[in-house]
Amino acid sequence: MTLAVETKKLRKLFGPIKALDELSFQVEEGEIYGLIGPNGAGKTTCLRIISTLILPTSGSATVFDHNVVKEATEIRKLITYLPEEAGAYKNLSGLEYLEFMAKFSTRNKKETESIIDNAAKISGLGSRLNDKVKTYSKGMKRRLLVARALMTRPRLAVLDEPTSGLDVLHSFHVRGIIKEYVKQHGVTVLLSSHNMLEVEFLCDKVALVNKGRIIAEGTPDELKTKNKVSNLEEAFAKVVGLA
């Protein structure tokens, strides 16, 4: 078993606030793993540590056996990170934005064109890629950004609330993009969401997170069966004592 991500007793303090409280989990290569829970549970903090954007207070985290503190440069070559509130340059067209971003990781024009073509297919935006980003709806922007995150076929894609604020149709499209891309290319995805019904459809394995701690972990079916409920929202409520 190859581990894409492993955290051990990961803690993060922001002054007196304990954002992560000995968080431990493993993500196997090629799976979609979801950290789910309410806003403020610590999901984003965990993803930012794994993406080498902030340092842990204590504990450890590795990405493909690279330590997030000591080997951040190596990790950044293997991952892409999509924040919840990510934006794109509004005065560029969708294609211009993808080309600009692709050039950071390509060595020649042919490679750049191949990645842009890949991103165009992922986004499903068709001819609208010729229009400026400022004319896009929120859903269209998110599809563009997800395409940007996946277009280089990273070993690990870290996605923070990938469908946040999207309507039903755009959410459906983004979920389909992620699931199909993992199936075709073996990319590993670590994502966060507070939408537990969505994660139930998308993830191979999930961790229910509350107040910086993992309170339950397993496949969606395992968690539902163990708690004798019909969906993950009910499982979460039962685990935290609300049901």
For position 1, what pLDDT does the model report? 67
The structure tokens 């492993």 sit at 6
d(CA 34, CA 31): 10
Strand partners, 158: 81, 190
pLDDT score recorded for residue 156 = 96
Q: What is the pLDDT of residue 242?
A: 66
User: What is the pLDDT at residue 243?
Assistant: 52
What is the structure's pLDDT at 72?
A: 97
Residues 6+ apart with CB under 8 A from 114: none
Rounded mean pLDDT, 192-206:
87
Secondary structure of 100-126 in HEC code, one letter for each residue: HHHCCCCCCHHHHHHHHHHHHHHHCCH
Predicted confidence band at 50 (pLDDT cuts at 50, 70, 90)? very high
Percentage of residues in the chain having pLDDT higher than 90: 65
Tokens of 208: 């229910």
Query: Is a pLDDT exceeding 60 seen at residue 146?
Result: yes
Choice between 15 and 85, residue whose per-residue pLDDT is larger? 15
Is the pTM for the entire model greater than 0.85?
yes
Nearest Cα to Cα of residue 207 among 156, 106, 45, 196: 196
| Average pLDDT of span 80-109 | 90
- Residue 20: pLDDT band (50, 70, 90) is very high
11-21 b/e (C-beta count within 10 Å ≥ 16 → b): ebeeeeebbbb
How many other C-beta atoms lie within 10 A of the C-beta of residue 189?
26
Mean pLDDT of the chain: 91
For residues 180-208, give the mean pLDDT: 89
Q: Are the C-beta atoms of residues 162 and 122 closer than 8 Å to each other?
A: no
> Mean pLDDT over residues 215-222, rounded?
94
3-state secondary structure of 186: coil
Q: To the nearest whole percent, how much of the chain has pLDDT over 70? A: 99
Strand-pairing partners, residue 210, are: 213
Collapsed DSSP state (helix, strand, coil) of residue 16 = coil
Q: Is the pLDDT of residue 105 over 90?
A: no
Asked if 64 and 52 touch (Cβ cutoff 8 Å), the reply is no
